[in-house]
Amino acid sequence: MPILLSQVNANTRIKFWEDIYLYAVNNLPDNVDPRALTAKGRKPLENLTERIAYIAAYGAHHYYKLNTAFEKANLEKLHNQEIEICDWGCGQAVATCILIDFLLNKGIHPVIHQITLVEPSQNALNGGLTFLQKMLNGNNEIVSYVHLICNRMNDVSSSLLRTSEDALKVHLLSNILDVSSVNLSMLHGLLTETYTGVNKFICTGPGNIGREKIDQFRELFTSQYTLEEDFFTDQSITGRYWRLNKSKTAPFGEYSITRYERQFTVTLRKEES
């Protein structure tokens, strides 16, 4: 049986905001500046303190940015659909967790055949798998549907990936395309070689850096394919969260969150050999 969201028990599963984000805020050790400790979210996370620090510092930004993106993504059509989720540079699978919360909150129940997590930090990857198990506790066999790839994207080859042409692929690229080590043409080559069929890309990033890499990533598909559900925004949003730093002087409140977002859907053809 694949992962059926309709069978997840809402009373016993964990939720991103309450159980992952607020847990991290409450358990951040004193005198730790979470942004500095995680090199502003850029470094592979090496231990539990760094994992907690990352979520305490950035979890709320991702939560608001991704929920706003998912509202624009026509996800209702995933109801009863066979899908795969691919979370690239996933860290602790925060984007997948937020997507699962979103779908369950909206009563959208796709049939999830696979979740692929790609991330160079084994520590972060293990944390992500644990979160997903607890989020989807209606299905004890979830581990067999989560495909963990502990690698940088540039070092992932098509033979390492598993996919089905019939499933709709939802690719999450949350705060990853702007990372300097990510080679866009290699990623594009990997995707077009591997993921025949319908692919939905949801790309979010910070408002200030790496915008052009999100544009370039989309551009790479346009020479060969017609894009559908092609959406763009760079409008800031606001959200209420804990703004943490070493001295914790700017506590809970409403703050602006800058963002850069592109989403598009593309039907990839089998490559001719």
Ligand X SMILES: C[S@@+](CC[C@H](N)C(=O)[O-])C[C@H]1O[C@@H](n2cnc3c(N)ncnc32)[C@H](O)[C@@H]1O
> Per rule CB under 6 A, is residue 34 in the interface with ligand X?
no
Nearer to ligand X among residue 93 and residue 139 (C-beta): 93
189 CB-near residues (< 8 Å, 6+ apart)? none
Q: Which is nearer to ligand X, 112 or 118 (CB)?
A: 118
Shortest CB 163 distance to ligand X, Å: 18
**Alpha-carbon 15 to chain mean position:** 15
User: Per the structure block, which two tokens stand in for 261?
Assistant: 């977002």
Closest CA to 152 of 175, 183, 128: 183
Please, what is the minimum distance in Å from the beta carbon of residue 269 to ligand X?
26
b/e string for 59-76 if b means 16 or more Cβ within 10 A?
Answer: bbbbbbbbbbbbeebebe
CB of 218 to ligand X, least distance (A): 18
Considering only 22, 60, 69, 94, the residue that binds ligand X (CB under 6 A) is: 94
- Distance CA(174)–CA(74), nearest Å, equals 18
Only one of the segments 8-16, 103-111, 148-156, 162-170 lies at the binding site for ligand X (rule: CB under 6 A); that segment is 148-156
Q: How many Å apart are CA 164 and CA 166, to the nearest integer?
A: 5
Q: In this complex, which beta carbon is closest to ligand X, that of residue 139 or of residue 182?
A: 182
188 touches ligand X by CB under 6 A: no
Residue list 238-257, contact with ligand X (CB under 6 A) = none
Q: Which is nearer to ligand X, 34 or 89 (CB)?
A: 89
Choose, by CB under 6 A, the member of 22, 25, 104, 182 that binds ligand X. Answer: 182
Specify burial of residue 39 (Cβ count, 10 A radius: 0-12, 13-18, 19+): exposed
Show contacts with ligand X in window 58-87 (CB under 6 A): 62
Site for ligand X in 122-141 (CB under 6 A): 124
117 is a contact residue toward ligand X (CB under 6 A): no
- Shortest distance in whole angstroms from residue 148 CB to ligand X: 13
Taking phi over 0 as left and psi of -120 to 50 as alpha, with beta for the rest, 169 belongs to beta
Nearest approach, Cβ of residue 208 and ligand X (Å) = 13
Q: Please tell me whether residue 21 adopts helix, strand or coil conformation.
A: helix
Strand boundaries in 157-227, DSSP class E: 168-174, 197-205
The one-character DSSP state at 142 is G
Q: Which residues bind ligand X (CB under 6 A)?
A: 41, 44, 62, 89-91, 94-95, 118-121, 124, 152-154, 174-176, 179, 181-182
